[in-house]
């Protein structure tokens, strides 16, 4: 705790996720009263055909 | 906002998702005081062995 | 199954949710190969200070 | 209802999930006032590079 | 890890949740290759008007 | 997109959430190829009796 879930389009590299996990952990720890060791970050890769905004799939844009 | 997440068995086609996204966006916009452009719809495809009801995996039924 | 989760700003009435639940259930059933009786819809009411876009809380806009 | 979502590292077998689904359904039914038939269990398999604790991806440990 | 999220109707007591958390942790640890200390269980209390099955809110049943 | 969900113990102030939202948005935008304007951050406040680690509710510790 805290648990941070990040849903983003698939295609991000492991290295990008690593940097996001490091930075998000630092920010959350700094401003939300918890040690970095307690911060969990989970990624979910979303294919473009599984995401719509305004009723239109991202894969159709 | 709103964010709509739809978990369903894998196997639905992109065309089915497209129709679901369109229809759900219309319904939410009409009844929940928000423009269609603000509605996000996200699908998650669930394999049958990752879903149980009554303690039995759907893949075993 | 399917499970539909709808996160929206708090303040929607029960009657609005009722109409959204009915409409979303109809749309999902029609286009995703499942009976209406199997569709679960869950709402989560989000306070404006618990939601940010572009790094700014909705309560600050 | 209830809906139980279990996020775990990918690699668990279908047989392991079967046992988890059975056991979790029994426990929830027994202590939370609901019939076993109403308990839904959903698994999400998380790759190690999609999970971090303390800012470090599990795939880097 | 694993992270178990349990969505149930509001009204369960803390004592009920305690028993569910204990039992679910034991089951997951036993069958999914992880120590009990690593299992996280999170509850979300759902009001009956925030849940529908078959298009009908549970508060209307 | 991306959608970032942060589950933390209730009791954080709106000002703390504001700083977390700003920082997380900056980090995600910088490392995950997306404009800050597209990043959504959502908080969920978790009471201590709704969270367990190792089978023990945080409210019992």
Round to whole Å and give the CA distance between A39 and A16.
18
Q: Which residues of chain C have pLDDT under 70?
A: none
The reply to whether D56 touches chain B by the CB within 8 Å rule is no
- Counting as contact any 3 or more CB pairs under 8 A, the partners of C are B, D, E, F
- Alpha carbons within 13 angstroms on the beta-carbon side of residue B9 total 15
| Mean pLDDT calculated for residue range E44-56 | 97
Task: Give the count of beta carbons closer than 10 Å to the beta carbon of residue A24.
Answer: 25
* 3-state DSSP assignment of residue F36: helix
Name D51's bridge partners. A42
Is A53's pLDDT higher than 90? yes
For the stretch B4-42, what's the b/e string if a residue is b when 16 or more beta carbons lie within 10 angstroms of its beta carbon? Answer: bbbbbbeebeeebbbbbbbbbbebbbebbebeeebbbbb
Distance, in angstroms, between A31 CA and closest chain D CA?
Answer: 15
The reply to whether C18 touches chain E by the CB within 8 Å rule is yes
State CA D3 to chain mean position distance.
11
A2, A3, A5: best mutation site toward chain E, by most E Cβ within 10 Å?
A3
- Asked if residues C50 and F45 have their Cβ atoms less than 8 Å apart, the reply is yes
Strands E40-46, E3-9: pairing is parallel
Q: Which of F34, F16, D50 is nearest to A27 (CA)?
A: F16
Is A8's pLDDT higher than 90? yes
Q: How high does pLDDT run on average in chain D?
A: 96
Is D39's pLDDT higher than 90? yes
Round to whole Å and give the CA distance between B58 and E27.
20
Give all domains of chain E, ordered by start, each with its CATH number: 3-60 (3.30.429.10)
Q: Is C35 a catalytic residue?
A: no
Determine phi and psi for D57, rounding to 5 degrees.
-60, 140
Contact C51 F44 (CB under 8 A): no
| DSSP assigned state of A31 | H
Burial category of C17 from C-beta neighbours within 10 Å (exposed 0-12, middle 13-18, buried 19 and up): buried
Is E61's pLDDT higher than 90? no
First-to-final CA distance of chain F: 37
Round to whole Å and give the CA distance between D56 and A22.
7
Q: Which of F60, D6, D24 is nearest to E30 (CA)?
A: D24
> Over its length of 61 residues, how does chain F's per-residue pLDDT go in tens digits?
899 999 999 999 999 999 999 999 999 999 998 999 999 999 999 999 999 999 999 999 8
Question: What per-residue confidence (pLDDT) applies to E6?
Answer: 98
Question: What per-residue confidence (pLDDT) applies to D1?
Answer: 81
| Mean pLDDT calculated for residue range D34-45 | 97
| DSSP assigned state of E48 | G
Q: What is the pLDDT of residues D9-30, one digit of tens each?
A: 999 999 999 999 999 999 999 9
Strand order in the sheet with D56-57: C56-57, C51-53, F40-46, F3-9, A3-9, A40-46, D51-53, D56-57
Q: Which of B5, F38, F6 is nearest to C50 (CA)?
A: F6
| DSSP assigned state of B35 | -
Is B61's pLDDT higher than 90? no
Task: Give the count of beta carbons closer than 10 Å to the beta carbon of residue D43.
Answer: 26
Round to whole Å and give the CA distance between B1 and F29.
19
Q: With beta carbons under 8 A apart, name residues in chain B contacting A60.
A: 18
Strand order in the sheet with A51-53: A56-57, A51-53, B40-46, B3-9, C3-9, C40-46, E51-53, E56-57
**Six token digits for residue C60:** 């600050």
- Counting as contact any 3 or more CB pairs under 8 A, the partners of A are B, D, E, F
Enter the ipTM.
0.96
Could you identify the residue written with the tokens 């027994």?
D30
B43, B44, B45: best mutation site toward chain A, by most A Cβ within 10 Å?
B43
Q: Please report which confidence band the pLDDT of residue D45 belongs to, taking 50, 70 and 90 as the band edges.
A: very high
Is D58's pLDDT higher than 90? yes
The reply to whether A53 touches chain E by the CB within 8 Å rule is no
């Amino acid at each position: 705790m805290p648990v941070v879930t990040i849903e983003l389009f698939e295609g991000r590299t492991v290295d990008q996720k690593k940097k996001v996990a490091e930075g998000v952990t630092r920010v959350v720890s700094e401003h939300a009263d918890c040690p970095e060791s307690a911060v969990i970050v989970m990624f979910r890769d979303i294919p473009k055909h599984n995401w719509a905004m305004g009723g239109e799939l991202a894969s159709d844009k």
